[in-house]
């Protein structure tokens, strides 16, 4: 198995590695060329990690447009910035008025409280392995494997993360492998093992493939 490259060479090495595999992903890597695996995917990507995870919780089971609206109202309610102490202190009733469900209001307040108290320190996640960082995040209410994995990929810039529960990735695998049905989350995760240690890049190639409708 190829060793992960130094950060400055990573996109080129990942593309060359995936393009050289005896695997259908090689065609995507050759066609798309060198890519940036960690490009933003949310309207609040430039904000702090707390804002990113809050948006992730808000967006569960609702459209991206609706999530942006709720998040915008929350940010306005807090004066433009999501500070952990202020968010943790926001009454549940206020969150419900902004469009939160009961479960999401509770999850967001508990997340903010963990950050405010120092129970969760985002900078410490950089020193953990992928598995350890994911476990730390999914221990929080409202943060599931998909949210944790995408956080590792997008925010922590980990090169070998594959959010197998992502519907777009699973549909892209159907196209890639000409499958008769959608793979399960477990099957998608097992399929991605062949793309280690650059599963984050394979995911990006697949997302691009799916977005292009190929």
| Catalytic residue, candidates 23, 47, 76, 166 | 166
Q: What is the pLDDT of residues 1-17, one digit of tens each?
A: 566 655 559 999 999 99
Query: Is 94 marked active-site?
Result: no
Judge if 114 and 200 occupy the same domain: no
Domain count, the chain: 2
> pLDDT digit string (tens) for 74-86?
999 999 889 999 9
With a cut of 80, say whether residue 55 has pLDDT above it. Answer: yes
Query: Is the pLDDT confidence value at 48 over 80?
Result: yes
**Mean pLDDT computed over every residue of the chain:** 91
Owning domain of residue 200: 7-37+160-211
Three-class HEC string of the chain:
CCCCCCHHHHHHHHHHHHHCCCCCHHHHHHHHCCCCCCCCCCCCCCCCHHHHHHHHHHCCCCCHHHHHHHHHHHHHHCCCCCCHHHHHHCCHHHHHHHCCCHHHHHHHHHHHHHHHHCCCCHHHHHHCCHHHHHHHHHCCCCCCHHHHHHHHHHCCCCCCCCCCCCHHHHHHHHHHHCCCCCCCHHHHHHHHHHHCCCHHHHHHHHHHHHHCCC
pLDDT at 8: 59
Same domain, 107 and 83: yes
Do 128 and 166 share a domain, yes or no? no
Q: What digits encode the pLDDT tens for the residues 153-207?
A: 988 999 999 999 999 999 999 999 999 999 999 999 999 999 999 999 999 999 9
Are 60 and 144 members of one domain? yes
Residue 170 maps to a domain: yes
């Amino acid at each position: 198995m190829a060793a992960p490259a130094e950060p400055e060479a990573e996109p080129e090495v990942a593309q060359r590695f995936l393009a050289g595999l005896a695997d259908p992903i090689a065609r995507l890597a050759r066609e798309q060329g060198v890519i940036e695996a960690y490009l933003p995917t949310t309207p609040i990507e430039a904000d702090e990690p707390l804002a990113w995870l809050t948006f992730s919780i808000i967006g569960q089971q609702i459209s991206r447009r609706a999530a942006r609206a709720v998040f915008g109202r929350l940010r306005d309610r807090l004066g433009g910035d999501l500070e952990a102490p202020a968010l943790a202190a926001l009454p549940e009733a206020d969150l419900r008025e902004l469009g939160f469900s009961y479960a999401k209001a509770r999850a967001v307040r508990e997340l903010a409280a963990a950050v405010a108290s120092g129970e969760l320190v985002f900078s410490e996640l950089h020193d953990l392995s992928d598995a350890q960082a994911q476990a730390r995040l999914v221990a929080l209410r409202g943060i599931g494997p998909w949210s944790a994995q995408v956080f590792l990929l997008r925010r922590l810039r980990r090169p070998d993360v594959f959010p197998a529960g992502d519907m777009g990735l699973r549909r892209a695998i159907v196209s890639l492998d000409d499958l008769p049905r959608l793979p399960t989350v477990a099957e998608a995760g097992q399929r991605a093992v062949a793309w280690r240690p650059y599963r984050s890049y394979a995911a990006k190639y697949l997302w691009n493939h799916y977005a292009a409708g190929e």
